[in-house]
Amino acid sequence: MQKKRKYLFITGGVVSSLGKGLTTASIALLLEKKGFKVALLKLDPYLNVDPGTMNPFQHGEVYVTDDGAETDLDLGHYHRYTTSNLSRASTATSGQIYDAVIKRERRGDYLGNTVQVIPHITDEIKHRIIQCGDKEDADVVLTEIGGTVGDIESLPFLEAIRQFLYEHPRDSLNVHLTYVPYLKAAGEVKTKPTQHSVQVLRSIGIIPDMILCRSEQSLSEELKAKISLFCNVPPNRVFDEIDVETSIYEVPLMLEKQRVASTLCELLSLEDCPVDLSDWVYLIEKIKHPKGKLTVGIVGKYLQHQDAYKSVFEALEHGAIAAGYSIEIKTFNSDELDFSIELSGCNGYLVPGGFGSRGWEGMIYAASYCRKNKIPYLGICLGMQSMVVDFARHVLGLEQANSTEIDPNTPHPVISLLSEQKNVTDLGGTMRLGAYPCSLNEKSLAYRAYKKSKISERHRHRYEFNNKYLQSFKDHGLEVSGLYEEGNLCEIVEIKDHPWMVGVQFHPELKSRPTDPHPLFRDFIQAMIGHG
């Protein structure tokens, strides 16, 4: 008999930024370690169709999947903690849900019926949940609901979940993540916010099956019993999720110590089996006991938001952990750099992606500084393009060289739009999104990192290296070491007489994991160690 698929819904209460994404990813990791195939879905209440056009200062980074979906940064957590395949089916926003329903209404699919939130919007949400599981043929589907319980915009999602739990009572459950604050003035932990959060959930018709308590310190059995009583959840299903000591990668170990995944298996009638987390235990030991420290400079334009370059920061840490080092990130706002003062104090520099002219000259300055001083440099997307423009200006002698994104009238457009992109008016329509293959030059630093000649990486950009200038670059020592052959598009550039200066048009940070660091970040870290 075919095994029934199980569904977990993770909600959050009291305040935002509790770590629902990390919690969801950690539970998914534990279930994977128990032998179950998991699928992950993030439901976001905002009306944007996707985060692609949202300000990084508001939303943080955009995580891109192989099939070109621009998604919430929580999918980055899902990738780093699990092996689950992420795709367009792994994300849905209110904008996407309403757009799909309105398009059906315009086609006449509803046969003249009044289109309403219930049942049409909620049916579409439930369809997305089922579709996510079907696409991956998953044993367990974990669905994280963005926002905080009590927000007006999340009500359709919570109503859809209420219906789903009612329709699948033995195969679905709700895990509620809440905040239990310590009030210094009172000298005690307060459970009232959690009680109110669960009261809101219960008023919608959802009674949590499990409560995870985010707090600064472990809760006493007395406090857990109080939460249990007032929230109608058995005391053995109230768990701590306290602030970790060293790294966010400790969260799965903390949850496993309390047998959270085993409890979920029991509730869902799944066969429980032991979990081997030795690789994660080893990871944490390496983090706690580094043999040295490296400092990397990030020269970017969205540094005021801690999550705008989330995957970049994580990938740097992955590479450092693999080498046995800790890493300190020193940030430089590219639009505030004083060009009369040299960059200093770092073992290497990284210029990440972005859009627009703000901070552009600062990025070029960073590339120029690293080129002249033989300091390890990794340029990602816009960081690769700034490296190209610096080389054109200061080595080729093309003083007004630029990207047409920055200066449409530059006499030397070494970075430009492809001809087929120029008449597209939809911003998303000009983007190269998702995974593209790349062929590597076997004498390159890139090949040394990947140790293979064919790779696939994810893109999110509009402007490309202009091949009209290719020969001139080669003649002066800048090599194209990676190529998308079908479109004859430059993917990777390197400077020949430099110990390690690499620019990539794609986003390698999106494919890095703590237990499997990305090859380019691993070798960038090694180059920094060698630089001293």
Among the listed residues 526, 76, 56, 81, the one whose alpha carbon sits nearest the alpha carbon of residue 327:
526
Hey, is 455 helix, strand or coil?
A: strand
8 Å CB contact between 178 and 214: yes
* Residues of the chain above pLDDT 70, percent: 97
User: What mean pLDDT is predicted for residues 10-15?
Assistant: 92
Quick check: is 273 catalytic?
A: no
Strands 432-440 and 478-484, how do they pair? antiparallel
Digit-coded pLDDT (tens) for 289-337: 999 999 999 999 998 888 899 999 999 999 999 999 999 999 999 988 8
Residue 211: what pLDDT?
97
8 Å CB contact between 506 and 518: no
Among the listed residues 458, 497, 496, the one whose alpha carbon sits nearest the alpha carbon of residue 480:
496
* Residues of the chain above pLDDT 90, percent: 85
User: What mean pLDDT is predicted for residues 86-106?
Assistant: 96
Of the listed ranges 119-123, 146-150, 466-470, the one predicted with least confidence: 146-150
Quick check: is 457 catalytic?
A: no
Quick check: is 507 catalytic?
A: yes
Digit-coded pLDDT (tens) for 34-60: 999 999 999 999 998 888 888 777 778
Q: What is the pTM of this model?
A: 0.94
Q: Give the integer Cα–Cα distance in Å for 195 and 109.
A: 43
Catalytic residue (choose from 77, 120, 498, 507) = 507
Calculate the average pLDDT of the chain: 93
User: What mean pLDDT is predicted for residues 60-64?
Assistant: 93
Hey, is 456 helix, strand or coil?
A: strand
CATH architecture of 6-283: 3-Layer(aba) Sandwich (3.40)
Residue 3: what pLDDT?
66
Strand partners, 238: 211
Sequence letter at residue 254: M
Strands 172-179 and 210-215, how do they pair? parallel
CATH dotted code for 293-531: 3.40.50.880
Cα 85 to the chain's mean position, in Å? 14
The pLDDT-based confidence of 426 (bands split at 50, 70, 90) is very low
Residue 429: what pLDDT?
52
Burial 116-147 (b: 16+ CB within 10 A, else e): eeeebbbebbbebbeebbeebebbbbbbbbbb
Among the listed residues 120, 201, 200, the one whose alpha carbon sits nearest the alpha carbon of residue 162:
201
| Torsion over CA: 428, 423, 437, 376 (sign) | negative
User: What mean pLDDT is predicted for residues 481-485?
Assistant: 95
| CATH 3.40.50.880 domain locations along the chain | 293-531
Catalytic residue (choose from 250, 314, 479, 509) = 509
User: What mean pLDDT is predicted for residues 394-411?
Assistant: 96
Comparison of pLDDT for 468 and 531, the residue scoring more: 468
Strands 432-440 and 292-300, how do they pair? unpaired
Tell me the backbone φ, ψ of residue 211, rounded to 5 degrees.
Answer: -120, 125
Q: Give the integer Cα–Cα distance in Å for 11 and 412.
A: 52
Helix extents (H) in 152-191: 155-167
Helix extents (H) in 232-277: 251-257, 260-267
| CATH 3.40.50.300 domain locations along the chain | 6-283
Q: Is the pLDDT score of 364 beyond 50?
A: yes
Among the listed residues 264, 313, 284, 277, the one whose alpha carbon sits nearest the alpha carbon of residue 29:
277
Catalytic residue (choose from 213, 381, 438, 490) = 381
Q: Is the pLDDT score of 517 beyond 50?
A: yes
Q: Give the integer Cα–Cα distance in Å for 321 and 330.
A: 18
Residue 532: what pLDDT?
65
8 Å CB contact between 235 and 254: no
Hey, is 201 helix, strand or coil?
A: helix
First-to-last CA distance in the chain? 61
Q: Give the integer Cα–Cα distance in Å for 492 and 450.
A: 13
Q: Give the integer Cα–Cα distance in Å for 467 and 48.
A: 36
Of the listed ranges 410-419, 460-469, 521-530, the one predicted with least confidence: 410-419
